[in-house]
Amino acid sequence: MSTTGSTFRSVHWTGNSVQIIDQTYLPQKEVTIHLQSVGQVWDAIKKLKVRGAPAIGIAGAYGLYLGIRELPEGVFSTFYKECERVAEYLNSSRPTAVNLSWALNQILDTIYSQKDEPIATLKELALQTAIIIHKEDCRLCKAIGEYGVELIPDNARILTHCNTGSLATGQYGTAFSVILHAHKQKKVKNVWVDETRPLLQGARLTTWELQKEEIPFTLNIDSAAAFLMQQGKVDLVITGADRITKTGDTANKIGTYSLAVLAKAHNIPFYVAAPYSTIDMGLENGRDIEIELRGDDEVTHFGNKRTAPKHVQVYNPAFDITPNRLISAIITEKGVITPEYKEKFERLFG
């Protein structure tokens, strides 16, 4: 899979398997792998070989097809129960990004709505729905960039967190798409890239994507963000999201909430960019979002080297919640949405 040129697609449906760039090897090596079974897709999502909210939704959608394509073509109720079981299994891989359950439910709903069709047709419909979800995400991410660019001033010094680019989505990215579109309009002076402890999605992946696009950037440790803002070196912060409630409370990579608090303290706009598939209209309050807790090793080790004594107690949440009141605007494919979010979300996405 070539990633040269402008934006690329990190997930492909080959006709028989899901082809992904295994992100755990980046930036050292660009390794492409083929996922041929639902178990391999589950494992790839769990281990962050494919990661980023929209990308795991896309991979999960293809994974559901892989998990049902060999099922017996007997009675609908038996087939559908199995489809639900496979979807539940895939959804157990990572809990926070709603894009995964959203994509799986899209497929289940499509299957159910056509339940009088032959099972072979339903399987084909499942695949077609996955392909539509994938293509649609590319289109949504492009639109996010086109709308978001209006918020970016000339000579912008933008701070971002985690990875939100083509690796994390169908194509273009979310926050990354805004940066990319701003760069095309020659508005970007510098992107401050938070390294994003502990898995270093910023240092390993965002820098890799920025380099490809020849966008000027500087890598900084997460805890340098406050000092950068204090020195007047940041004009705005923009991040992606893993789940946004209908009131605008936002789950994103751990460290995002600190950035939002800091941005408020320094009077800097804090923007979130995400497609509608990240908005969970079933949830009101950010408190109700399940936060993934990850393994101790990510904190007690740096690479393969132990950096903390044995038997230390570790707390390692992968995400945090930024309350809506700290978010200046949420950039979606339908435009830039400013507070109060609830009524506007209901009108646009309800």
Residues marked active site are found at: 242
Q: Is 53 in the site for ligand MRU (CB under 6 A)?
A: yes
Q: Is 242 in the site for ligand MRU (CB under 6 A)?
A: yes
**What residue number has its CB nearest to ligand MRU?**
240
Of residues 327, 330, 255, 319, the one with CA closest to residue 289: 319
Q: Is 333 in the site for ligand MRU (CB under 6 A)?
A: no
Q: Is 241 in the site for ligand MRU (CB under 6 A)?
A: yes
**Nearest CB to ligand MRU, comparing residues 162 and 329:** 162
The CB-of-4 to ligand MRU minimum distance in angstroms stands at 22
Of residues 202, 200, 288, the one with CA closest to residue 244: 288
DSSP code of residue 19? E
Q: Is 253 in the site for ligand MRU (CB under 6 A)?
A: yes
CA 344 – CA 336 distance, rounded (Å): 11
Q: Which secondary-structure segment (H or E) carries 237?
A: strand 236-239
**CA distances to 101, 208, 244, 247, 281 from 87, in Å:** 8, 32, 22, 27, 20
Residue in 240, 248, 255, 286 binding ligand MRU, rule: CB under 6 A: 240
Q: Where are the alpha helices (DSSP H) in the chain?
A: 38-46, 53-68, 76-91, 98-113, 119-148, 175-184, 201, 207-213, 225-230, 256-265, 297-300, 341-349
The CB-of-121 to ligand MRU minimum distance in angstroms stands at 33
Q: Please tell me whether residue 280 adopts helix, strand or coil conformation.
A: strand
3-state helix, strand, coil in the chain (%, to 5): 45, 15, 40
**Nearest CB to ligand MRU, comparing residues 181 and 253:** 253
Q: Is 193 in the site for ligand MRU (CB under 6 A)?
A: no
Amino acid type, 59: A
Q: Is 249 in the site for ligand MRU (CB under 6 A)?
A: no
The CB-of-117 to ligand MRU minimum distance in angstroms stands at 34
Q: Which two tokens stand for residue 74?
A: 């007997």
**Nearest CB to ligand MRU, comparing residues 23 and 127:** 23
Site string for ligand MRU, 282-321 (x = CB under 6 A): ------------------------------------x---
**Nearest CB to ligand MRU, comparing residues 183 and 253:** 253
The CB-of-256 to ligand MRU minimum distance in angstroms stands at 7
Residues 125 to 164 in contact with ligand MRU, rule: CB under 6 A = 162, 164
Q: Evaluate whether 274 touches 332 at the Cβ level (below 8 Å).
A: yes
The CB-of-148 to ligand MRU minimum distance in angstroms stands at 13
Q: Is 41 in the site for ligand MRU (CB under 6 A)?
A: no
Q: Could you tell me how far CA 235 lies from the centroid of its own chain?
A: 24
Residues 89 to 118 in contact with ligand MRU, rule: CB under 6 A = 97
Residue in 168, 260, 263, 329 binding ligand MRU, rule: CB under 6 A: 168
